[in-house]
Amino acid sequence: MSDLIQASSRDIDGPLLELTDVRTHFRTARGMVRAVDGVSFTLERGRALGIVGESGSGKTILSRSIMGLLPPRNTVRGGSIKFEGREIGNLNRKQMRSVWGKEMAMIFQDPMTSLNPLMKVGKQIAEPLKIHLGMDHATARATAEKLLQDVRIPEAHRRLDQYPHELSGGMRQRVMIAIALACGPTVLFADEPTTALDVTVQAQILDLLNEQRKDRNMSLVLVTHDLGVVAGHTDEIAVMYGGRLVERAPTKVLFSKMKMPYTEALLESIPKIEDPSHTRLMTIGGRPPDLVNPPPGCRFAPRCMYVQDKCKAEEPPLEQAETPGHYFRCWYPVGSPVYLQVKERLADKPVSVGEVL
Amino acid sequence: MTLTDVLELATPAPATPEPRRRRRRPKIGLWLGVGWLAAVAFCAIFANQLSFIRAYDTKIKVKGRTGRYNIGPGWRTWMGTDASSHDVFARCIYGAKVTLTIGVLSTIIGLFLGGLLGVMSGYFRGWVDRIGSIIVDSLLALPPLLLALLLVYRMDDLKGIYTWLGWLNREWEITLTLGILAIAPFARIARAQTIALRDREFVLAARSLGAKSGRVIAREILPNLIPAMLTVAVTGLGILVAAEGALAFLGLGVQRPLTWGKMIADGQNDLARAWWATIFPCLFLFFTVISFNLIGDRLARRFDIREAAI
Amino acid sequence: MRYFLQRLLQFVIVFFLVTFGVLVFMRIGLNKPGDPARTMLGGTASQAQIDAVTKRFHLHANYLAQYWFWLKGMFTLDFGYSQVHSLNVTTYLKPKILPTVFLGIYATILALVIAIPVAVYQAYRRDGVGDKVGSFMSFAFVSIPALVLSPLLKIVFINHLQWFPRLFTKVYPWDNPIEHFKNFFVPTLALTLPLAAIYVRLLRADMVQTLQADFVTLASAKGVSPTRVLWGHALRNSLFTLLTNVGIQVGGLVGGALVVEKYFAMPAMGDTLVRAILSSDIFVVQSVSALLVATVVIVNLLVDMSYAVIDPRIRHARALS
C-alpha cells in the first residue's frame, strides 16, 4: 500500500488538533442556544477519538464547528481551535476551503441523502482530486477507481458510472468514505457513520475506517451516541452532555473506571451478551437539558440518580482522576462515599431509574 | 433493542438547534392589502352616496365646454378626464364594483364546482378520478383567455338564438366563464388534499366505524379543506380580476359601467397625450391584484401551503 | 416507459376532446334560423355559394362526422376556409404564426435567463439585503398583469426614452436582426417579467431546500467552491418545480401574448384570434385553438421527458417498468 495518498506528515511539535474553551452558540428567537459550551481537548496524529453523547448533546455541532461547516449567519463561535499549531477557529469559509477535503474530511450519518443523487459516483469522488491535487480527468478517474477498491467495493470500475440510487446503503457509505479519503486528509470526522446502516454492515464500516486510519496515519474523530461503536475502535473517548465535555479518558480506562453517573447510565443501557434474555434495560429518564437556559449547577443533575443539593447549585469543574489522561466533571463520582450510600438505598427498593425522576 | 432505540425513547424531543432565527414577519403587507380592498369596496358600494364621487355620466366642463381629455389629474379631478370628459376616478370606482362582484361570484362558482370535482376524484379514486383528471386537463389544455373569449362570445350569440338563455347579460356571461376557468385549480388542490386526508388516522377511524362516504366527506374531509381552499380562493381572486381586465381590454367586457380593462383599451391610442386615462385604471388593477396576492401569501404562510401546490 | 405512454395517451385524449369541444361549441345554433351555411356566409351569399360551402364542410352531417372531415383536413394542412376574409385558413394564418412563436420563445427563454441567476443568488444569500429586494421585486412583478405592464413599458421605453419604434413592424431576424430586436423587445419584456417573477419564486424556494441537504454540505466539505456547489450540485437538484411550471405557464403565456399583441398592435395569432372570435370565423377559431392546444400538449410532454434527462432515478424507473 505504498502508493496510497498519505496524510501529510509535516513535522510539527505538539498535538494535531488542540481545542481550548470552544463555544458554538446559535442566535434563535428563543434566545441563545448554547450548543457547544466551553469544550477543550487535544488529538494526537494517527489516533482515534470517540465523542459520545445523546442527541442534542452538541457532539455533531462540535465536529462541524471544528471543520467550520456551520452556516455563518446567527452562529457565534468562541475559543480557540488549533490545527497543526495554526489557529483555524476564526477562518471564514473561503479560507477553510483549502483545508476541507484536503486536511480535514467528513463522513455524514445518512448515506441516502449525503451523495448527490444526480451525479455519477465516479465524478463525485474525482471532484476533490481535481480541485486539491490538480489531477486531470483520466488520472482522477483512475484514482477514484483505486479508492473504490480500497474501500472494498466490488467491481469498482463499473461503479464509477453508476448513480447513488443504484447502490445499497452500506455501499453508499463506502463511497462516502472513499470521497473523504480521496485527498489523504490528516483528520477524518465521522458523524454517526453507522447509525443509518444495517447491524451487519455497521461493524464492516467501522473496521474499514480503522484500517484506513492506520494505513494512512490519519486521525479519526468518531462521533456517535453509541458507546458500543466506540468501544473497539478508538484510543480515547470524550463524553458530552448539554454542550459540555463531562468525562474524557483513554477507552480502556473509561470502561473500567468511569467517574460520571451519566457515562455509567449510558453504558448500562447497552444490552450485554451475558444478561439473560428479556432483561430490562436501564434507561435514562427525563430529557436533555434546555440549551437556552441550562440548569445552574451540574447540567446532568435533574436526571441524575445520585443528585445532591450541591449538584443543583454549583457546577463541578473538570477534574483529573487518579489515572493520567482521565478527566471528569462531577461532585460525587462513581465510587465516592455519597455515591455508594445512595446506591445502597436504591438497591433496597428496586425501581427503574425512570420512576425515580 | 440497541442503545439507539433506548436513547431515542429517553429523549422524546431532540434539541436540535434551529440555526436560523425565526422572526415574525411584519404584517404591513397584509394590512395594506386589506386596507386597499376595503377602501375600494366601500367607495364602490356607496358610490352614489359619497359626495366626492361624481355620477357615472357627469361630463366635466372647462370654461363651460367639454373636450377630449380636457383636464389632467389635479385638485378638481383627481385622476383627470377621459376622451369624453368623464371623471377617470369616478369611472374607476364604478368599474371596481363590477370587477369585484364578478370576481367574487365567479370564485364561488369555481370553488363549488372545482371543490366537488376534486373531492370526488380524491375520495373515490379509480374511474371517477380518471374522468375528473381528464376534465381538469381539458380545461387546462386550452389557454384560459382563449377559453374565456370563446365562452363569452358564444354565450352572447346563443342567447339570441335560444330564448331560454335570455336572462344572460354580460355580467353573468363573464361570471360564469371565469367560474369555469377557476374550476381546474380548485379541483387540483381539493383532490391533492383529499388524498392526503383520506389516509389519515381520523378519517380511517371514521371509515372503519362504518360511516357512510357522504358523512365522512362532510364531517372529516370538508372542514379540513377550508384553509387550502381559502388560500387558493384569495390568490385566485387576483388572477380572475386580471382576467376580467384582459377580457374587457379585448372588447368582451361589461359595457356599462365600463371596467378598468376597457378604459385601458380606450386610452391606448392617446397614451402619449393623456397618460392619466391609461395609468390610473392600470394602478387600480395592479393594486387590487397585489392586494389579493398579499393576503393570499399571508394565508399560505399561515396554513403552510406551498406556492407550487397552487 | 409505461408511465410515459400513459401520459401520452392522456394528452392525445385531451387534444381530441378539446378540439371536438371547440368544434361543437362553435357550431351550436348555426342551423337557427335556417341553413348553417347561410348563417356562416351572411345574407348576401348566393344559393350556389351556400351549396358549395355546405358540401365542402359537410355542414348537414352530424358533429362527429364534421369533426372527422375537419381533422382529416388538418392533417393535410387544409385548415378550412375563412368566410370573413374569403381565404383559405392556411394561407390566412401562415404569416401570423411566426411573430407569436418568436414572442413566446423569447419570453420563456428570457424569463429563465433572468430567473435562474436571481433565484440562485437569493437562495445563496438567504435573508440578506439582496434576497429581500429580490423577493419584493418578484412579488410585485407576479402581481402585475400583462395588461398593466404593457402601457407602463410603452410609456417608458417607447414614448419617453424613444429607444424603440412607435409602431410595430414585422421583421424577421434573418432579414434585419437589429430591427427585429427593436420591434420585439418591449412586447417580450411585458410578457417575460411576470413570468420571470413566478420562476424566481419557485426556484428560490426549491434552492433553499436543496441547500440544506446533506449532499450540499458534503460538497462544501470536499472543498468544492461555492460557485460549483451552487451551479454544479444544488441547481440541478432544484429544477423540477421550475420545469413543471414552464409547462403549466404555456397557457398563461398565450393569454398574456393575446393582450400584449393587441396592445402593441402586432399582426399575430392573438389579434387574429380575437378578430376571428368576434366575427364568428369558425374555421380560423378552430384552427388556432387546435394549434394552441397542440402546443400546450407538446410542451408538457417535453417537460415530462426532460425530467428523465435530468434525473437518472426517473430514467431507470422507466426503463424497469
State pLDDT tens for residues B23-61.
Answer: 456 678 888 999 999 998 998 888 888 777 777 777 777
pLDDT for the residue A282: 67
d(CA A131, CA B173): 65
Rg (CA), chain A: 22
Helix (H, G, I), strand (E, B) or coil at C128: coil
* Phi and psi torsions of A276, nearest 5°: -65, 155
Q: Can you read off the three cell numbers belonging to residue C287? A: 384552427
The mean per-residue pLDDT over the stretch A295-301 comes to 87
Nearest by CB to B153, which of C15, C32, C278? C278
pLDDT score of B4: 31
Q: Kindly tell me if the per-residue pLDDT of A2 is higher than 60.
A: no
Let me know the angle formed at the C-alpha of B132 by B128 and B138, rounded to the nearest 5 degrees.
Answer: 150
Number of CB pairs, chain B paired with chain C, less than 8 A apart? 146
Nearest to C284 by CA among C23, C104, C107, C6: C23
Which position has the higher pLDDT, C53 or C204? C204
Q: Say what the pLDDT of residue B22 is.
A: 46
Please give the distance of CA A31 from its chain centroid, rounded to a whole number: 26
Closest approach of chain B CAs to the CA of C176, in angstroms? 28
Inter-chain residue contact C236 with A117, CB threshold 8 Å: no
More confident residue, C69 or B66: C69
Least confident piece of the model among A35-44, A191-200, B188-197: A191-200
CA distances from A301 to A285, A311, A327, B203 (A): 12, 6, 18, 44
pLDDT of residue A205: 87
Q: With a cut of 50, say whether residue A283 has pLDDT above it.
A: yes
pLDDT for C114-141, tens place per residue? 999 999 999 998 888 999 999 999 999 9
B9 contacts A291? CB cut-off 8 A:
no
User: Which pLDDT score is estimated for B183?
Assistant: 93
Burial of A61 (0-12, 13-18, 19+ CB in 10 A): buried
Give the residue among A49, A331, A25, A9 at the shortest CA–CA distance from A190: A49
What residues in C contact B245, CB-CB < 8 Å?
145, 147
Q: Does residue C212 surpass a pLDDT of 80?
A: yes
- Banded model confidence at residue C317, pLDDT cuts 50, 70, 90: low
Q: Which of B2, B6, B16 sits opposite A56 (nearest CB)?
A: B16
> B143 and C14 in contact by Cβ < 8 A?
no
What value does the mean pLDDT take over residues A219-226?
90
In this predicted structure, the answer to whether residue B20 has a pLDDT above a threshold of 50 is no
How would residue B10 be classed by pLDDT, with cut points 50, 70 and 90?
A: very low
Cell of C163: 429607444
Give the CA distances from residue A32 to residues A22, A293, B173, in Å, rounded to whole numbers and listed in that order: 16, 9, 60
Rounded CA-CA distance B285/B278 in Å is 11
Amino acid at C145: P
Measured between alpha carbons, how far apart are the two ends of chain B, in Å? 44
Residue C122: what pLDDT? 94
How far lies B191's CA from each of B104, B115, B116, B198, in Å? 22, 8, 9, 10
Burial readout A311-347 (b: 16 or more C-beta within 10 A, e: otherwise)? beeeebeeeebeeeebbbbbbbbbeeeebeebeeeee
d(CA B40, CA B30): 16
Asked if C221 lies within 8 A of A166 by C-beta distance, the reply is no
Q: Tell me whether residues C152 and B282 touch, CB distance under 8 A.
A: yes
Model pLDDT for residues A139-179, shown as the tens digit of each residue: 999 999 999 998 888 888 999 999 999 998 888 988 998 99
Residue that is written with C-alpha cell 336572462 in the block: B167
Cβ separation B134–C10 shorter than 8 A: yes
The confidence band for B19, taking pLDDT boundaries of 50, 70 and 90, is very low
For B137, the grid coordinates are 386537463
pLDDT, chain B, mean: 81
Residue C255, pLDDT > 80, answer yes
Q: What DSSP string runs through B220-272?
A: IIHHHHHHHHHHHHHHHHHHHHHHHHHHHHTT-S-TTTT-HHHHHHHHGGGTT
Q: Of residues B197 and C107, which shows the higher confidence score?
A: C107
The yes-or-no verdict on residue B14 having pLDDT over 70 is no
With CA atoms as reference, report the closest residue to C68 among C16, C116, C104, C107: C16
Q: Return the residue matching grid coordinates 364531517.
A: B219
**What pLDDT does A144 receive?**
93
- Do B134 and C293 make contact, defined as CB atoms within 8 angstroms? no
Backbone angles phi, psi at C165, to 5 degrees: -65, 145
**Dist. CA A215–CA C280, nearest whole Å:** 84
From residue A357, alpha-carbon distances to A182, A205, A246, A304, C259 in Å are: 49, 38, 21, 8, 72
Q: Which residue of B has its CA nearest to A75?
A: B19
pLDDT, tens digit, for every residue of A229-262?
888 889 999 999 988 899 999 999 998 888 888 9
pLDDT at A356 over 70: no
Given a cut of 90, is residue B109 above it in pLDDT?
yes
Q: Is pLDDT above 50 for C69?
A: yes
Grid cell, residue B193, equals: 388534499
Range list of H helices, C28-176: 36-41, 47-57, 63-75, 89-124, 129-142, 146-153
Mean pLDDT, residues A336-350:
80
In this prediction, residue B153 has a pLDDT band, given cuts at 50, 70 and 90, of: confident
Taking the C-alpha atoms of residue C231 and residue C229, their distance in angstroms, rounded to an integer, is 6
pLDDT of residue A204: 86
Cα-flanking dihedrals φ and ψ of residue A318, to 5°?
-80, 110
Give mean pLDDT, residues A325-338.
88
Compare CB distances from A281 to B1, B8, B19 and report the shortest one's residue: B1
- pTM score of the predicted model: 0.84
Residue A48's pLDDT is 92
- The minimum CA-CA distance between B212 and chain C, rounded to whole Å, is 32
Inter-chain residue contact B145 with C32, CB threshold 8 Å: no
Query: Each residue of C233-247: pLDDT tens digit?
Result: 999 999 988 988 888
Quick check: helix, strand or coil at residue A249?
A: strand
B251 touches C at CB < 8 Å: yes
DSSP codes of every residue in chain B? --HHHHHHHH-SS------S--PPPP-HHHHHHHHHHHHHHHHHHTTTT-TTS--TTPBP-BTTB--TT-S-SSSSSTT-B-TTSBBHHHHHHHHHHHHHHHHHHHHHHHHHHHHHHHHHHHHH-HHHHHHHHHHHHHHHHS-HHHHHHHHHHHHHHHHHH-GGGTT--HHHHHHHHHHHHHHHHHHHHHHHHHHHHHTSHHHHHHHHTT--HHHHIIIIIHHHHHHHHHHHHHHHHHHHHHHHHHHHHTT-S-TTTT-HHHHHHHHGGGTTT-THHHHHHHHHHHHHHHHHHHHHHHHHHHTT--GGG-
Kindly indicate the confidence band of residue A346, based on its pLDDT and cuts at 50, 70 and 90: confident
Q: Which residues of B64-86 are buried (b: 16+ CB within 10 A; e: fewer)?
A: eeeeebbbebeeebebbbbbebb
From B189's Cα to the closest Cα of chain A, the distance in A is 29
Q: Write the residue in B146, B271, B275 that is nearest to C273 by C-beta.
A: B146
Q: How close is the nearest chain B Cα to the Cα of A260, in Å?
A: 17
The pLDDT of A210-225, averaged and rounded, is 90
Under the banding of pLDDT at 50, 70 and 90, the label for residue B310 is very low
Quick check: B59 and B52 in contact, CB under 8 A?
no
The pLDDT assigned to B107 comes to: 95
Does the beta carbon of B186 lie under 8 angstroms from any beta carbon of chain C? no
Helices (H), C230-310: 235-237, 240-263, 269-278, 282-310
Q: How far is B42 from chain C (nearest CA, A)?
A: 23
Q: Which three cell numbers, joined as nine digits, stand for C194?
A: 411576470
Q: Respond yes or no on whether ipTM tops 0.85.
A: no
pLDDT-based confidence at C318, cuts 50/70/90? low
What are A55's three cell numbers? 442527541
